[in-house]
Structures are given as structure tokens and as C-alpha cells.
Amino acid sequence: ASGISPESPQKYVEEISQLPKEKGWRGLQGLFLYKNFWFYPAFLKGALHARDHFQAQPTDIFLCSSMKTGTAWLKALSFTIATRGHRPSDDGLPSNGGSEIPLFASHLPYTCLPKSVIDSDCKIVYIRRDPKDTFVSMWFFLRKFVAGKNSTDVESFASIDEGFELFCKGLSSHGPYWEHILGYWEASIRRPEKILFLKYEDLLEDTQLWVKKLAEFFGCPFSAGEEREGVVKECSFESLRDLEVNKSGKHEKRGRVIENSAYFRKGVVGDWRNHLSDEMGKKIDVIMEEKLMGPGFTF
Ligand code: A3P
């Protein structure tokens, strides 16, 4: 969540050092188990700081997701929907409210969100994605992350087979992936008016429909005749990928330089078939069915 100082006090380092630890994906730091989820320490420091200090407001809107499930797209859509009609004009004059839309984004599992997020009863949108595509997207992204400036580091990174085995054991950033989904799914059943649960694949198949639903959920529905196509186009994979800031921009995360283009790889459903065998695909599907079919989940 935003508003978190990057300087994490020593107490969090000590708290993390007491937690159960497993080797992470080769080339990355170890994973630490906190409230039944695996975290890389840099994420966890922020989460603990947020736990102790983040104060949510009832008007806040949280965009929640596991890594590589379409977070940047959901952020773009949500911002574009919420600020339509009152964004800064091309002449650079200040916006009359767009920048004050209280949108936050988090990869935290539901049960690890700061207590005030739940207590404040603010709205949450959760996006999930087919685990096979999520895994492939994650592997390519983290490989780039590990490479940073130095491409030779790539050789030390987990092979796709190694990463896959760990992912299937739940050992991935904010994993187990299925538990992440389950937490929000169960919460969305308990609090449907406050938690909107969406699927990357549905969003891709009928973006206009979900843009309408998101706008209604945010409390700023489209009026009859107001067109949604502009929002859909503005946030399409090609539009976002081709923005200059995403083509040539970079940012630094935990001492490594990440090119913004890493967030816009292919943006399709089913790319896993180019990287995983049928057998591997089946293995994840079976795990997901076992873990998620129980509580009435439609897979
Ligand atoms: P791929 O790696 O499969 O291409 P996140 O934002 O959570 O990190 O997720 C990244 C994934 O979302 C990437 O998947 C990326 O290409 C895809 N993505 C980003 N913008 C998108 C868009 N506008 N439409 C569809 N997919 C998008």
C-alpha cells in the first residue's frame, strides 16, 4: 500500500528473521512464511509496516491481486474510469479532482491486509488469472528482475521447471497462489457489495461489460449513452505497451533496475502452451481443482 516508508525499522527485520524460511526461486532471496503465505523479505517489511501504521478510509478503493494477474491493467482501467471527465487537460492545468481518487493497490493476501482495510469496510476489487499463465508471466518477469543491469545473472535464475515445481508447492511470492484466490473469494461471498471478484480472462473477453461493472461498483456508473469504448481502448494492451513511459521508462526496485516494458509482455490467454507441457498444465489444474472446487468455486 502507498504511504509506506521504504526505511523499514530494524524491528521488522528481526520479526522476519524469526519466521519459517524456505529457499526461494534460485537467484532470488529466501521466502518467509507469514500468516500461511510466502513472502520475499522486501515485500514483507512493507506489509508489516502497513499492518502497524496504515489507516484506511471508508472511501478508499483497494485493487488487490497476486503478482502477474493483470494488476497494471486493472489499475489503468480503474483510474481511467474513476477520473473520466475530470482529468488534467493537455494544457497542463491541474485536475479538478482526478488525483484525489483514493485508489490503492496491494498484492497482500486478504488475511494479511492491514486490519483497518477490513474494519473501514472500504471497497476491494480482486483480479485473478489462470494459474498456468500467471506462472509463465511470473517466471519471465522475475527472470528480468534478477537480470537487472547484469544479464549474466540470468544464468543463476531458477529454470522454468524448477520455478514450476516450487509454484506447485505454493512456494512463490505471496503464494500459495490458490490460497490467495481463496481468501478473496470467500470474503467476496461474505461481503459481495464490498468485494468485486474478477477474472483476467473474463476481462479480456468482454472488457466493455467489466468496465461498466467496475464503474457501478466504484459508484460512478456510466450514464445512458455515455460510451465505454474510449476507456477500453485507452487501457488496451497495445495502448499501454506503446506509451512512451512504458516503452523506454525504467524504475528501480530493491536495488535493481526494471524496465517498465517488463509489465507488458504479451497480454493474451493461453501463452502457457508455448512454455509448459500438457502434463505440467494438468498438474496445476488438478491442484487448483482440489483446492478451490470445495467452497463452490467455479474454475
Ligand atoms: P503476460 O506476461 O502474460 O503478457 P501484472 O500487471 O499483475 O504484473 O500482470 C502482468 C500481465 O498482465 C502480463 O501478462 C501483461 O502482459 C498483462 N497485461 C498488461 N496490460 C494488459 C492489458 N491492457 N490487457 C491485457 N493484458 C495486460
The Å distance, Cα 230 to ligand 1 centre, comes to 19
For atom 8 of ligand 1, the residue with the nearest CA is 68
Task: Say if residue 261's pLDDT is above 70.
Answer: yes
- Ligand 1 close to Cβ of residue 144 (< 6 A): no
The residues near 182 (Cβ < 8 Å, ≥ 6 apart) are 291, 292, 295, 297
Q: Look at 281 and 259; give whichever has higher pLDDT.
A: 281
pLDDT of residue 87: 64
DSSP letter assigned to residue 84 = T
pLDDT of residue 235: 96
8 Å CB contact between 49 and 182: no
Q: Could you give the CA distance from residue 95 to residue 78 in angstroms, rounded to a whole number?
A: 17
8 Å CB contact between 173 and 40: yes
The Å distance, Cα 73 to ligand 1 centre, comes to 6
For atom 22 of ligand 1, the residue with the nearest CA is 237
pLDDT of residue 101: 77
Catalytic site residues? 107
> Angle CA(270)–CA(272)–CA(275) in degrees, nearest 5?
145
- Mean pLDDT for all residues in the chain: 89
Report the residue among 106, 214, 260, 265 best suited for mutation to probe ligand 1: largest number of ligand atoms under 8 A from its CB: 265
8 Å CB contact between 296 and 186: no
> Angle CA(135)–CA(118)–CA(38) in degrees, nearest 5?
30
- Ligand 1 close to Cβ of residue 240 (< 6 A): yes
Query: In the sheet where 61-65 sits, what is the strand order?
Result: 103-106, 61-65, 123-128, 195-199
| pLDDT tens profile 144-183 | 888 765 556 677 899 999 999 999 999 999 999 999 999 9
Task: Say if residue 299's pLDDT is above 60.
Answer: no
Task: Say if residue 194's pLDDT is above 60.
Answer: yes
Whether omega for the bond prior to residue 176 falls within 30 degrees of 0, making it cis, is yes
| pLDDT tens profile 181-193 | 999 999 999 999 9
8 Å CB contact between 174 and 39: yes
The Å distance, Cα 107 to ligand 1 centre, comes to 15
Of 2-6, 176-180, 218-222, 267-271, the range with the lowest mean pLDDT is: 2-6
pLDDT of residue 151: 56
Could you tell me if the ipTM is greater than 0.85?
Answer: yes
